[in-house]
Structure 1
Amino acid sequence: PPVADPPPGARALGRLHARRLREIYRSAGWPCCDEIEVELLAAGLLERVRSGQGHETLRVSDAGIVHIAGSLVVNRGALSRHEALVERVAREMTRAGRIAWRGLGLRARLPAAADGDKPRWCIARPDVFSIRNTTVEAYAQPIVHEVKVNRADLLSDLRKPDKRAAYLDLGGECWYVLGCDAKGRAIGEPEEIPAECGVLVAQGDRLVVARAAVHRAQPRMPFSLWMSLAKAQPVPGFEEDSQALLAGLDI
């Protein structure tokens, strides 16, 4: 028989609920007895199962399976939109005469948690990291681009000052690149983004500057960063200029 639609209350559940459903579906179903679990049970997405020994476990209901499937479709759609915009930004950097990388894991220095403490370190993962295509180290001008296509993801990111501090440590400029919603509206306003960061909005085929980034004097890029770049594969560059030169030669 066809599976019934999930109960109306299930439509108000968020990403944490969908994640918990997936975890229970992959596990033995031992209960956590927290609020998320209670809400899933009340929505009919989980069922309690008692064994012959009296142990109680959880099982994802048919409605829960439908909910998992729906959340996976949404996640894939958001991921594909994010990846497409990351690719656009990286390509724009290469067109601007820069060398760009996607998805790097780079060691960044964070301010000390308190006066007198040692600086902290973390691994930052900017969506796009780029430097100028130059042979002079002082002209490298590293830039970080962080891409957001979902408003909830943007707001969550803005509540993480350490993540932003890591990006600013890596680059002389840090930009947020914002996608648009189904009505063509940017998922955020420039005023919502910290003043030290620039804002780009993806409008159709263009990346429009909503606010320029603050350019900061950047110290020399550390050797560890150069090594990370050397071991990673940059975005393939465009060869239009080279091809145009070749077209004028009799070879």
Structure 2
Amino acid sequence: MTTNTQSHCLTRQHYKRLRWYFKAPAGNASLADNIDLHLAASGLIERVERFGGVVCFRITTPGTVELAAENQREIERRKPHHSLASRLARWLQEQGRATWENIEFIVETPAGRQAIRPDVFSLATTCNPARITPHVYEVKVSRRDFLADVAQPKKRAGYAIIAERVFYAAPAGMISPDECPDGCGLVLEDGDTFVVARKAKRQPVQLGPAQFMNLILKPGVVPDLV
């Protein structure tokens, strides 16, 4: 079984490979690389001989335990992100907007189909399709994550298909308004509320039947308007 020191030496590539072995029957050892070597030396995968003398790798019980432990660590790492997204969603609900967290859409782009998953998606609560004003909020809790996202124009292009306005949301003081990509707005958490530090440029969009069905099948939170 891996020790804490060994776990700290494993990279995302190691865990990605472990997940592959967990899902797949086995991997051909003749195609092994240094990641497989490291996993085998740590006891997380093992060499087995299959019918016909073919040697393969498969995940071990310690490998499964370590993979489960990493999944739990990932949940803990993402807690600040999910917590901020939930607080933002509640604030938007107080503004009279319906919200969805971490909902996936499939959109058609010039480059083909693209899966997008905004941290928070919101609509105005109205029956008039022309006034639903769909917004996307990309939540960031670290500058590293923000800067990595800024470098992905393809992702924002996908958001632009389903949102009239795209915002970044972050703790106050982490992002300067002028750092946001052109057209994007910025919402900052300041104490127990949120403030719009930079308005987003509006571009009219019209959600299609597929997007509306997605919202129906994966219900969000609609504020009490009474």
TM-score range, shorter chain: 0.7 to 0.9
1:92-116, Cα deviation, whole Å (9 max, x unpaired): 1111122223344435343x35xxx
CA drift at 1:174: 0.7
Q: In structure 2, do the counterparts of structure 1 residues 225 and 5 end up closer, same or farther at CA, with 3 Å as the change threshold?
A: closer
| Equivalence for 1:100 | 99
1:42-97, Cα deviation, whole Å (9 max, x unpaired): 55544434569643232446764564243122122235444433322222111112
Q: In structure 2, do the counterparts of structure 1 residues 203 and 220 end up closer, same or farther at CA, with 3 Å as the change threshold?
A: same
Is residue 123 of structure 2 the alignment partner of residue 131 of structure 1?
A: yes
| Equivalence for 2:21 | 24
Is residue 203 of structure 2 the alignment partner of residue 217 of structure 1?
A: yes
Partner AA of 2:8 in structure 1: R
8 Å CA contact retained: 1:6, 1:64: no
| Equivalence for 2:182 | 195
Partner AA of 1:18 in structure 2: Y
Q: In structure 2, do the counterparts of structure 1 residues 12 and 219 end up closer, same or farther at CA, with 3 Å as the change threshold?
A: same
8 Å CA contact retained: 2:99, 2:220: yes
The SS at the match of 1:86 is helix
Pick the structure with greater CA Rg. 1
Q: In structure 2, do the counterparts of structure 1 residues 43 and 73 end up closer, same or farther at CA, with 3 Å as the change threshold?
A: same
CA distance in 2, matches of 1:192, 1:39: 40
CA distance in 2, matches of 1:64, 1:42: 11
The SS at the match of 2:15 is helix
Q: In structure 2, do the counterparts of structure 1 residues 87 and 6 end up closer, same or farther at CA, with 3 Å as the change threshold?
A: closer
Segment drifting more, 95-104 vs 76-85: 76-85
The SS at the match of 2:133 is coil
| Equivalence for 2:138 | 146
The SS at the match of 2:3 is coil
What's the C-alpha RMSD, in Å, of the aligned pairs?
3.7
Describe how 1:27-176 pairs up with structure 2 within 5 A: 27-30=24-27, 31=29, 32-41=31-40, 45-50=44-49, 54-60=53-59, 64=63, 67-110=66-109, 112-113=110-111, 120-149=112-141, 154=146, 157-176=149-168
1:108-157, Cα deviation, whole Å (9 max, x unpaired): 343x35xxxxxx44343323221223354443322111234566665654
The SS at the match of 1:92 is helix
Q: Percent identity?
A: 29
Partner AA of 1:76 in structure 2: I
Structure 2: tracts of 5 or more residues without a match: none
CA drift at 1:165: 0.4
Aligned residues between the structures: 224
Partner AA of 2:168 in structure 1: Y
Partner AA of 1:74 in structure 2: R
CA distance in 2, matches of 1:225, 1:51: 47
CA distance in 1, matches of 2:185, 2:166: 6
The SS at the match of 1:57 is strand
8 Å CA contact retained: 2:2, 2:43: no
CA drift at 1:21: 1.6
The SS at the match of 1:17 is helix
Q: In structure 2, do the counterparts of structure 1 residues 175 and 36 end up closer, same or farther at CA, with 3 Å as the change threshold?
A: farther
The SS at the match of 1:18 is helix
CA distance in 2, matches of 1:68, 1:221: 39
Structure 1: tracts of 5 or more residues without a match: 114-119, 243-251
CA distance in 2, matches of 1:106, 1:44: 39
CA drift at 1:16: 2.4
Q: In structure 2, do the counterparts of structure 1 residues 42 and 92 end up closer, same or farther at CA, with 3 Å as the change threshold?
A: same
